[in-house]
Amino acid sequence: MSQPDLASLPTTAFEDVATLAARRSARWRPGLASQQGKALHSEIFASSREAAGAGATLALALDDWRNVPRGEGEEADDRRAVLWVQTRDAARLGGRPYRAGLPKDLQARVIHVLAQKAEDALFAMEEGLRCRDLAFVIGEVAGNPKALDFTASRRLTLTAQKHGVPLFLLRVDAGRDLSSARMRWEITSAPSNAPEWNAQAPGDPAWKAELFRARSHAPGEWILGETAQGLVANKTREDTDRAVVNWTAGLQHRRTPRRA
């Protein structure tokens, strides 16, 4: 028999592994995709009065896209397209993407879909997740439409997992309803740092990001910023230890293997 019988191993072995894994993954941080792979389904809650949601979504998506480890023999630049799906309401409230303002990497790669209804947007997102020629999919849905219930979000999660295409679902002016998203963020704007040459001008964008629910991370709050080096995150509070320890303890408890 090549594989050891899992049930015969001592429980402590699993606990150690679980603790280690939990310690390592407890905190979200930029560049985490290099160890854990892409976050496949994230939801970002934002207001329609600002473009902070879209900006942070792009920053998070590009952070994952840059840091994800390359497979064997994948030397060529990833020039795949990006699908940006908007419902008509979301486009009316928050505007449409503007090419000159997009990140340089994305300017020539955005394919925009304008859906009349939330159902159409869900269809477009799901089809996009099935497409191997897409780097990631951004969906923008306004409010809490009936079509976007837990079943629909579970469907999106499974499709994203099956095909490995990340989905970033931007929820504009929405309440935190049930969802199966792996990471759920709440994003608002934060005052930017003063630029070096003109302290009166708005600087590089900064966002206050609250990760309020995540499957493999402890919740937390950060100030995200997009700089030339990439995404940077500064903690808003020094709340590292207790929250993580508590959360890890809970995880350990949950991960205790069931015996047959």
Partner 1 sequence: MNAPAAGLPSPRTRRILSIWLPAMAMDRWRQGASERRELDDKPLVLIADTAHGPRIEAANRAGAAAGARAGMMLADARTLCPEIITAPSDPAGDLAFLEKLAVWAMRWGPWSAMDAPDGLLVDVTAVPHLFGGEEGLLADVASAFARRELAMRCAIAPTAGAAWALSHYAAPGTILRGEEDAETRLGELPVAALRLDQDVITVLRRLGLKKLGELTTIGRDAIQRRFRNRKSPAANPLIRLDQILGRVPEPLLPVAPQQMPLVQRRLMEPIRHRQLLDQVVADLAEDMARELEGRGEGARRLELGLWRVDGEVTVRRLELAAATREAAHIVRLFAAKLDDIDAGFGIEMLRLRASWAEPLALDQADIEAAAENHGIALSALVDRLTVRLGPEAVSRPVPFASHIPERAQRWHKPLEPEPASQGQLAFHKRPLKLLDRAERIAVLYATPDGYPQRFRWRGEVHEVARVEGPERIAPEWWRERGATRLRDYYRIEDQRGRRYWVYRLGIVGDGRGGAPDWYLQGLCA
Residue numbers of the site for partner 1 (CB under 8 A)? 49-52, 54-56, 58-59, 81, 83, 91-92, 94-102, 108, 110-116, 120, 123-124, 127-128, 130-134, 163, 165, 188-192, 194, 198, 200-202, 205-206, 208, 226
Closest CA to 222 of 246, 198, 238: 238
Please say which residue, 43 or 126, places its beta carbon nearer to partner 1.
126
| b/e 162-193 (16+ beta carbons within 10 angstroms → b) | eeebbbbbbbbbbeeeebbbbbbbbbbbbeee
Please say which residue, 132 or 258, places its beta carbon nearer to partner 1.
132
* Minimum CB–partner distance for residue 228 and partner 1 (Å): 14
Please say which residue, 39 or 82, places its beta carbon nearer to partner 1.
82
* Minimum CB–partner distance for residue 152 and partner 1 (Å): 16
Hey, is 25 helix, strand or coil?
helix
* Minimum CB–partner distance for residue 103 and partner 1 (Å): 9
Please say which residue, 34 or 107, places its beta carbon nearer to partner 1.
107
As a whole number of angstroms, the distance between CA 223 and CA 146 comes to 32
Other C-beta atoms closer than 10 Å to the C-beta of 79 total 10
